[in-house]
């Protein structure tokens, strides 16, 4: 159950701390677990995080990025929830490599992540004979056994939604959660990269401890309130009408409508006046959208294409399967992604937003009228690493990094 939520934008640390004090006083008698996502300058981090931990000993949180409109301000999203908190150390996967599925089907010298080596002891280190598709299927099967200990006594019907903060490789915890709670909604926030801020790849907080990897989260029970999970993709332009994938494997689309996917994409680009010779696949501009009832249900970035072979590689571990209806989409270049906080008068919600990797150092596009802006009822956090989501049993978890892409878990 969501007890209370706010998103706070402040000019100074003192202005933020005063708002956090008010949140604490208003929440003092309500119990629950405190969630936070904080974006602040290095010289203010220690005092703010110490303040948060002293007020809320039971907490899960992470360092995030500010929305571009408020990049020169301090931003902190806070919420109080009832649920089962957990800590996961399940390893995720390495970033997909172009064409690796064809290369690895028959032979590979790739080493398994150390954290997963025990799962594959039966292979005795001879990875040259490993079928990697079978390997990852076995990982999914074993994931249920690796579910965080805090969740092992929860029945599938006792969990309706799961929220977590994660490092940049959430595939392990995502597969474990689906295997254990297949009908739940799952929303994961990939914490911002912090090597130049805290010296850690990411920075996660859990009940007084600080972690550099894994995930921390909370499982929500249906008896404490129903939730819905939606996702939005702003500013995308259709390059093609609906098409059908006729074969795919791993992270590759092999054929679309029994034709060459890359040539189809190039033809669509030319039709829209885009020069594919230089721009094709160099930037995060082209996507494959999986369609449902005329809307984009899932989105995957195109990372490369091969006009001769025809294959298109996606920035995901698993391309849409044969029979999927898709569109090819284009994100026009924008000088600035406008993501302002807007007060809503609807139900309480938690929103995760994928933001650009970088933005200018100029003045913010949204000036504050006062020292602090407080949005009641909404927890809004942004990260350049995006978010992962899954809606129920029919969907596999997937990561969205589209700048401006937004997932929202709303209490109904």
Is 145's pLDDT higher than 90? no
- 279 vs 149 pLDDT, higher one: 149
- 71 vs 388 pLDDT, higher one: 388
CA angle 140, 141, 146 (to 5 degrees): 80
pLDDT band at 27 (very low <50, low <70, confident <90, very high): confident
- How many other CB atoms are there within 10 angstroms of residue 95's CB atom? 11
Q: What is the mean pLDDT of the chain?
A: 83
Query: Which residue's structure tokens are 């309130």?
Result: 225
Tens digits of residue pLDDT in 279-335: 544 555 899 999 998 899 999 999 888 888 889 999 888 899 999 999 999 988 765
Q: Which two tokens stand for residue 298?
A: 């899932």
Task: Tell me the residue ranges of DSSP E strands in 28-127.
Answer: 33-39, 59-63, 74-81, 84-88
pLDDT on residue 111: 38
Say if CB 52 and CB 204 are below 8 A apart.
no
Say if CB 286 and CB 242 are below 8 A apart.
no
**pTM listed for this prediction:** 0.84
pLDDT on residue 119: 35
Q: Is 382 helix (H, G, I), strand (E, B) or coil?
A: strand
pLDDT band at 228 (very low <50, low <70, confident <90, very high): very high
Say if CB 128 and CB 108 are below 8 A apart.
yes
Task: Report the distance separating Cα 15 and Cα 74, nearest Å.
Answer: 9
**74-81 and 398-400: which strand pairing?**
unpaired
- Residue 23, φ and ψ in degrees, nearest 5: -60, -40
Tens digits of residue pLDDT in 48-107: 999 999 999 999 999 999 888 888 899 999 999 999 999 999 988 765 444 444 433 333
Is 346's pLDDT higher than 60? yes
CA-based Rg of the chain, rounded to a whole angstrom? 22
DSSP assignment of 118-177 equals GGGGGGTT-GGG--HHHHHHHHHHHHGGGS-GGGTT--GGG-SEEEEEE-S--HHHHHHH
Is 405's pLDDT higher than 70? yes
Is 143's pLDDT higher than 90? no
Say if CB 63 and CB 38 are below 8 A apart.
yes
Say if CB 138 and CB 119 are below 8 A apart.
yes
Least confident of 29-43, 122-136, 222-236, 336-350: 122-136
pLDDT on residue 277: 54
């Amino acid at each position: 159950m969501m007890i209370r939520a706010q998103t706070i934008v402040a000019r100074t640390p003192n202005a933020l701390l005063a708002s956090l004090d008010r949140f604490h006083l208003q929440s003092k008698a309500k119990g629950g677990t405190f969630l936070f996502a904080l974006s602040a300058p290095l010289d203010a981090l220690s005092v703010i995080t110490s303040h948060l931990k002293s007020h809320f000993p039971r907490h899960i949180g992470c360092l995030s990025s500010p929305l571009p409109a408020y990049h020169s301000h301090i931003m902190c999203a806070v919420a109080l929830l009832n649920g089962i908190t957990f800590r996961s150390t399940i390893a995720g996967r390495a970033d997909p490599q172009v064409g690796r599925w064809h290369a690895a089907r028959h032979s590979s010298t790739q080493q398994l992540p150390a954290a997963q080596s025990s799962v594959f002891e039966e292979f005795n280190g001879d990875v040259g004979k490993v079928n990697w598709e079978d390997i990852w299927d076995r990982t999914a099967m074993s994931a249920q056994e690796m579910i965080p200990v805090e969740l092992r006594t929860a029945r599938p019907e006792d969990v309706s939604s799961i929220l977590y903060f994660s490092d940049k490789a959430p595939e392990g915890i995502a597969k474990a959660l689906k295997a254990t709670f297949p009908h739940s909604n799952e929303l994961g926030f990939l914490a911002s990269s912090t090597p130049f801020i805290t010296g850690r790849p990411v920075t996660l907080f859990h009940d007084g401890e600080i972690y550099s990897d894994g995930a921390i989260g909370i499982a929500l029970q249906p008896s404490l309130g129903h939730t819905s999970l939606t996702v939005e993709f702003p500013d995308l332009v259709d390059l093609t009408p609906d098409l059908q994938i006729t074969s795919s494997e791993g992270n590759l689309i092999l054929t679309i409508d029994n034709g060459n996917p890359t040539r189809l994409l190039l033809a669509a680009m030319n039709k829209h006046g885009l020069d594919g010779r230089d721009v094709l696949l160099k930037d995060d501009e082209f996507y494959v959208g999986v369609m449902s009832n005329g809307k984009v249900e899932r989105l995957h970035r195109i990372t490369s294409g091969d006009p001769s072979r025809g294959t298109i590689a996606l920035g995901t571990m698993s391309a849409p399967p044969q029979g999927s209806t898709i569109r090819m989409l284009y994100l026009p270049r924008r000088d600035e992604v406008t993501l302002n906080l807007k007060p809503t008068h609807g139900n309480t919600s938690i929103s995760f937003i994928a933001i650009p990797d970088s933005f200018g150092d100029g003045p913010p596009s949204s000036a504050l009228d006062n020292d602090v802006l407080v949005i009641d009822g909404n927890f809004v956090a942004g990260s350049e690493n995006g978010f992962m989501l899954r809606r129920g049993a029919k969907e596999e978890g997937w990561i969205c990094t589209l700048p401006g892409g937004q997932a929202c878990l709303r209490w109904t």
